Amino acid sequence: MRLVRRLLRPFVALYERWQFRRKVKRLQKRDPFIY
């Protein structure tokens, strides 16, 4: 199990990054341009 987790770690990091970007894009659309 530990080995599987270790192997999956980079993919989980990628997934989290992707989720973060999706969240940012969603949140950004709510706000007006500052310039």
Partner 1 sequence: MPVWGISANEHDASLSVVDGSEILFASHAERYSRKKNDAHLHPDLIAAARRWGEPEQIVWYERPLLKRTRKLYAGQREHVWRADGAAYLAAHGLHAPVRYVGHHQSHAAAGYFTSPFDHAAILVVDAIGEWSTISAWEGQGRTLRQLWGQRYPHSLGLLYSAFTQRIGFKPNEEEYILMGAAALGEPRYVDLIDQDFVRERAAPDFRLKTNVHRGVRWWRPEIADNWDIAASIQAITEDYMVGLVRWLAGRVRSPNLVLMGGLALNCVANSKIARDGAFDRIWIMPNPGDAGSSLGAVAAYTRRRLNWTHPYLGENIERPFPHAEVTAALLAGEVIGIANGRAEFGPRALGNRSLIADPRGPETKDRVNRIKKREPFRPFAPVIMAEFADRYFDMPVAESPYMQFVAPVKRPDLFPAIAHFDNTARVQTVRREQHPLLYELLSCFHERTGCPMLLNTSLNIKGEPLVNVWEDARRFQALHGVKIF
Chain positions contacting partner 1, by CB under 8 A? 20-21, 23-24, 27-29, 31-35
Q: How far is the CB of 19 from partner 1 (least distance, A)?
A: 13
Spacing of C-alpha 20 from chain mean position: 3
Token pair 């080995």: residue: 3
Q: State how far the Cα of 25 lies from the Cα of 3, in Å rounded to an integer.
A: 34
For partner 1, give the closer residue by CB, 1 or 10: 10
- The two structure tokens encoding residue 14: 């990628």
CB of 8 to partner 1, least distance (A): 21
- Which lies closer to partner 1 via its Cβ, residue 10 or residue 32? 32
